[in-house]
């Protein structure tokens, strides 16, 4: 297609199909590892337990900090005292693990039978002496990644204020001294002088520690100091959040957390594209700098350096087309990055689109398409997978990024696919992880190229005919 056929703006459609995604209770898989002193208690039926067992079966050799409180027929028919049962479980968790926080993950069943988890939590907290966060990460959400959104939104209410910190000053000072142990006062002062004076900035979104360090250092180069991350590595290190603080998200599926921070804590949201790919990371940093009146330094060179380092992967996708079926709400950011790499995107399927929270990302996608001279992709909210498969047959894209349910059927029909869930668990944020995104996206293309060189593709076609 030529540039003359481009639509003037992004097209939005809504097919009102089903949400073909995992259940949001799967957020436990990465959150219990991120918040090291936590314990997650999922309250649901045996079906929820089977799902967790399958979703996290790969972690059997680790010692997990999550458990399943299974509701039996007696519980569901409201014959048993759920408070006493939860209290018994919490006391057992305290005795065995002694976490700093217990997170109740409510499921669909707790919604249906109207189990008052929020009402029970304060009383349980006072009885067992451990904070309890209640999050309803149930299957009624649009995408499985929104489980994290629900948990973080609930944790916002637990973040301390300056008044509370003053009361705990001795403990906070002890932690501060421990962090600076062995460092000279001159070194600490010199480090502080590297930052520009600006209002406190809180970043929200669960990322692996190396990525957190990477983004923190990238902002430090510009003189921006991060006042805290939500979630923190430990629950006891949750950031102080006061009215007027600035907040910025790192993931496109955290709209509920952003809304809670703005409405409940009166924070100011920095609307920026998300730091996925070198282009997105640069735009994210530039937006934060512009809000604080800082002139960014060396970002153009940094971005150019990354593009040069991933050229060997980028040339594999240049000129090819991609189709997103919709799964984890990362679709717009990934599509924008792949378009910048030289791909054409036919369609971006997405389970749910919050146009306010993703406004900067959508504008950046539009700009990227104009810069690259490619047609604007159609964005389909709540896509009907049957209709999507028909469009895939018609368009014949070089790569389809899809949920696990449709990957094998499409592969059997000669269509290259990549599981979208892999992008959820991979490290894809920041400058240095752009290569990992392309490594994942190009894997099926490289595999098929290798098969062609070996002549196996002809054998596969012959077997398909039989």
Annotated binding site for [4Fe-4S] cluster: 23, 48, 108
- 51: tokens are 């799902």
Contact status, residue 228 vs residue 156, Cβ threshold 8 Å: no
The number of beta carbons lying within 10 Å of the beta carbon of residue 203 is: 23
Contact status, residue 438 vs residue 422, Cβ threshold 8 Å: no
Angle at 273 between CA 272 and CA 276, to 5 degrees: 135
DSSP, residue by residue, 184-210: -HHHHHHHHHTSPP---EEEES---HH
Measured CA to CA, the distance from residue 366 to residue 321 in angstroms comes to: 17
Measured CA to CA, the distance from residue 40 to residue 100 in angstroms comes to: 11
CA terminus-to-terminus distance, the chain: 36
What letter does residue 351 receive in the DSSP assignment? S
Length of the chain (residues) = 466
Q: 419: closest CA among 432, 408, 435?
A: 408
Measured CA to CA, the distance from residue 269 to residue 94 in angstroms comes to: 37
Contact status, residue 411 vs residue 389, Cβ threshold 8 Å: no
Measured CA to CA, the distance from residue 254 to residue 250 in angstroms comes to: 8
- CA dist list (Å): 387 to 332, 390, 401: 20, 5, 16
DSSP count for the chain of H helices, then E strands: 22, 14
The alpha carbon of 463 is separated from its chain's Cα centroid by a whole number of angstroms, namely: 40
The number of beta carbons lying within 10 Å of the beta carbon of residue 359 is: 13
Q: 20: closest CA among 325, 226, 234?
A: 325
* Residues in the annotated binding site: 23, 48, 108
């Amino acid at each position: 297609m030529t540039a003359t056929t481009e639509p003037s703006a992004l097209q939005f459609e809504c097919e009102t199909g089903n949400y073909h995604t995992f259940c949001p209770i799967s957020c436990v898989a990465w959150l219990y590892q991120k918040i090291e002193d936590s314990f997650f208690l999922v309250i649901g039926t045996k079906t929820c337990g089977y799902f967790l067992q399958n979703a996290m079966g790969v972690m059997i050799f680790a010692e997990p900090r999550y458990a399943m409180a299974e509701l039996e027929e007696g519980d569901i028919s409201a014959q048993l005292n759920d408070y006493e049962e939860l209290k018994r479980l919490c006391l057992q968790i305290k005795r065995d693990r002694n976490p700093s926080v217990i997170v109740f993950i409510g499921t669909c069943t707790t919604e249906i039978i109207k189990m008052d988890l929020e009402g029970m939590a304060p009383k349980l907290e006072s009885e067992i002496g451990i904070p309890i966060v209640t999050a309803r990460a149930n299957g009624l959400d649009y995408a499985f990644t929104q489980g994290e959104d629900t948990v973080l939104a609930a944790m916002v209410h637990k973040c301390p204020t300056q008044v509370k910190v003053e009361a705990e000053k001795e403990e906070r000072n002890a932690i501060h001294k421990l962090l600076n142990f062995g460092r000279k006062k001159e070194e600490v002062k010199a480090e502080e002088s590297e930052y520009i004076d600006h209002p406190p900035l809180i970043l929200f979104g669960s990322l692996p520690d190396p990525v957190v360090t990477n983004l923190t250092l990238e902002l430090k180069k510009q003189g921006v100091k991060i006042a805290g991350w939500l979630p923190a590595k430990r629950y006891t290190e949750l950031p102080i959040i006061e009215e007027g603080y600035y907040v910025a998200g790192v993931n496109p599926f955290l709209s509920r957390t952003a809304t809670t921070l703005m409405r409940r804590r009166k924070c100011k949201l920095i609307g920026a594209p998300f730091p996925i790919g070198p282009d997105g990371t640069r735009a994210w940093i530039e937006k934060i700098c512009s809000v604080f009146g800082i002139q960014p330094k060396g970002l153009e060179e940094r971005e150019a350096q990354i593009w040069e380092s991933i050229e060997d992967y980028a040339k594999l996708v240049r000129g090819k087309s991609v189709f997103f079926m919709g799964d984890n709400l990362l679709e717009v950011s990934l599509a924008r990055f792949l378009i910048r790499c030289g791909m054409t995107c036919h369609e971006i399927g997405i389970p749910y689109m919050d146009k306010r929270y993703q406004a900067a990302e959508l504008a950046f996608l539009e700009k990227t398409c104009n810069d690259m001279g490619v047609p604007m992709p159609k964005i389909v909210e709540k896509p009907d997978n049957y209709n999507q498969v028909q469009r895939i047959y018609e368009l014949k894209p070089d790569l389809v990024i899809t949920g696990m349910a449709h990957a094998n059927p499409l592969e059997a029909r000669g269509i290259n696919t990549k599981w979208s869930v892999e992008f959820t668990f991979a490290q894809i944020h920041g400058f240095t992880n752009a290569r990992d995104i392309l490594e994942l996206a190009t894997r099926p293309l490289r595999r098929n190229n290798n098969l062609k060189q070996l002549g196996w593709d002809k054998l596969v076609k012959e077997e398909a005919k039989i």
